[in-house]
Amino acid sequence: MDELLKWRGEFPILDRSTYLISNSLGAMPREVYDRLHSYADSWAERGVRAWEEGWWDMAVGVGDQIAPLIGAAPGEISLHQNVTVTQAVITSCFDLRRARNKVVMTDLEFPSIQYFYHEQQQHGARVELVPSSDPVRFDLDKFLAAIDETTLLVPISLVLFRSAYIVDAKAIIERAHRVGAHVILDVFQAAGTIPVDVRALGADFAVGGVLKWLCGGPGVGYLYVRDDLRSRLKPALTGWLAHRRPFAFETGPIDSREDSFRYLNGTPHIPALYACQPGLEILNKAGIAAIRAKSVTMTTRLLESAQSRGWRVNTPENPADRAGTVSIDCPHAYEVCRELLAREILVEPRLTAGRRPRIGLANDRHPDGRRHRAVSRGHVSGPRARRSYVQPALVRDTGRGLIMHSEQLG
């Protein structure tokens, strides 16, 4: 008996569709209805008293449910609107006008992060974007060589969003620390798919969000700061939540707290903090080890099935090198996506400049393999093709081929 199947009923959308785009937006847990109702009740019945009765502490307290999923300790995470904001908070701790001002990134990094750091050049940053000729992975030696004594920050994803390639973060962190640089480890596509331990890796910072693999909805990004850095660094992007005495409304410079509240700023996003908790609770109960084991089995089957049809797969074949995504080149990918959507198999086409068109299909594990045959038999046709990624991971229905916690990247 697959123990993960018991969670399938917690996701209403699985009653009527095969959900394969959770890395765009994870499937909503049923309990979210009740949690948002609790938020509304608290606001309606308690009014301003709700702040002192729980709201104020949620931007750190709810982070304690994320901590076990990334190897952090209670109190080590602060919650923000999204990952780009967390990068801005981190960067505001440093003076980019000094000699050590280089930011090293791969061009396989998620675009929003690239956009943010390129714009920091107007504040003094030097950005070195290490190019890759491979859509799956980048040249690690070349990347390590770019990290030198002038490097300040190294934003890097533990799992690359295009290919699900698992990066050798340990090697990057060790190299960065040898030359005095700081690593910002983006675990967005890792947390919830593979075991993550940011403390064991020695990451200076770790960032991510809940709306994808963690099924937490939009509006909650998380920030981990290593214990020895937490009170030493001082974000310039700050606000009254970071003040030791916020309700004293003191004027002048801030007297910052020394815990994770130090990295907060303005009024937090309370509704989102209510909505994200059911997904986090499910993930913690289900266990990442079980999810990872099932993901390896399902992605292996999908990868082998695609290869048997002669389709190019832009995802590592070795399970040790890949997380939860399989990226496949499929003929007439855009039309295939439209046909799957018409059948309530939710996927999304994407176009990636300079790459071949791809569509990601999820493995339903149904005995007749009908999801795969829907593509291979040529039910759709046409010249247009775009790229899509699908990541099978957590729950399937052996009768209907439903897979929960499959993720559409980006």
Asked whether the predicted pLDDT for residue 25 surpasses 90, the reply is no
Same domain, 243 and 293: no
- For residues 214-238, give the mean pLDDT: 97
C-alpha to C-alpha distances, 100 to 128, 169, 231, 311, nearest whole angstrom: 13, 22, 21, 46
Among candidate residues 101, 214, 93, the one with its CA nearest the CA of residue 150: 101
What pTM did the predictor assign? 0.87
Same domain, 172 and 55: yes
| DSSP secondary structure of 17-37 | -EE--TTTSPPPPTTHHHHHH
Same domain, 90 and 210: yes
Same domain, 101 and 239: yes
Q: Residue 30: CB partners within 8 Å, gap ≥ 6?
A: 9, 10, 11, 12, 278
**What percent of the chain is predicted at pLDDT more than 70?**
85
Same domain, 364 and 246: no
The answer to whether residue 308 sits within a structural domain is yes
Same domain, 274 and 332: no
The answer to whether residue 233 sits within a structural domain is yes
Final residue of a structural domain among 284, 319, 338 = 284
Q: In degrees, to the nearest 5, what angle opens at C-alpha 76 toward C-alphas 74 and 82?
A: 115
The answer to whether residue 395 sits within a structural domain is yes
Residue positions counted in the chain: 410
Question: What's the pLDDT at 350?
Answer: 56
Question: What's the pLDDT at 348?
Answer: 66
- For residues 276-282, give the mean pLDDT: 98
Q: Which of 230-234, 269-273, 369-373 bottoms out in mean pLDDT, i.e. has the lowest? A: 369-373
Final residue of a structural domain among 222, 252, 284 = 284
43: domain CATH number? 3.40.640.10
Same domain, 211 and 307: no
Asked whether the predicted pLDDT for residue 51 surpasses 50, the reply is yes
Residue 383: pLDDT band by 50, 70, 90 thresholds?
very low
The answer to whether residue 182 sits within a structural domain is yes
Same domain, 302 and 248: no
Task: Give the span between the Cα atoms of 19 and 13, in whole angstroms.
Answer: 7
Question: What's the pLDDT at 328?
Answer: 80
Same domain, 313 and 374: yes
The answer to whether residue 410 sits within a structural domain is no
364: domain CATH number? 3.90.1150.10
Task: Give the span between the Cα atoms of 312 and 290, in whole angstroms.
Answer: 29
- Paired tokens of 315: 């995802």
Asked whether the predicted pLDDT for residue 356 surpasses 90, the reply is no
- For residues 27-46, give the mean pLDDT: 97
The answer to whether residue 409 sits within a structural domain is no
Helix (H) or strand (E) holding 60: helix 58-61
Q: In degrees, to the nearest 5, what angle opens at C-alpha 351 toward C-alphas 346 and 356?
A: 110
Question: What's the pLDDT at 410?
Answer: 29
- Paired tokens of 37: 């109702």
Task: Give the span between the Cα atoms of 68 and 261, in whole angstroms.
Answer: 19
Final residue of a structural domain among 284, 317, 352 = 284
Same domain, 10 and 54: no
Task: Give the span between the Cα atoms of 158 and 152, in whole angstroms.
Answer: 19
Given a contact cutoff of 8 angstroms between Cβ atoms, the answer to whether 265 and 233 are in contact is: no
Residue 294 belongs to domain spanning: 3-28+287-404
The answer to whether residue 161 sits within a structural domain is yes
Question: What's the pLDDT at 336?
Answer: 83
Same domain, 18 and 128: no
Residue 94: pLDDT band by 50, 70, 90 thresholds?
very high
Same domain, 259 and 314: no
Domain count, the chain: 2
Asked whether the predicted pLDDT for residue 12 surpasses 80, the reply is yes
Task: Name the DSSP class of 243.
Answer: B
Q: Which of 16-20, 50-54, 269-273 bottoms out in mean pLDDT, i.e. has the lowest? A: 16-20
Asked whether the predicted pLDDT for residue 1 surpasses 80, the reply is no
3-state secondary structure of 389: strand
C-alpha to C-alpha distances, 266 to 78, 156, 209, 238, nearest whole angstrom: 13, 27, 19, 7
Asked whether the predicted pLDDT for residue 370 surpasses 60, the reply is no
Question: What's the pLDDT at 340?
Answer: 87
Residue 311: pLDDT band by 50, 70, 90 thresholds?
confident
Given a contact cutoff of 8 angstroms between Cβ atoms, the answer to whether 59 and 78 are in contact is: yes
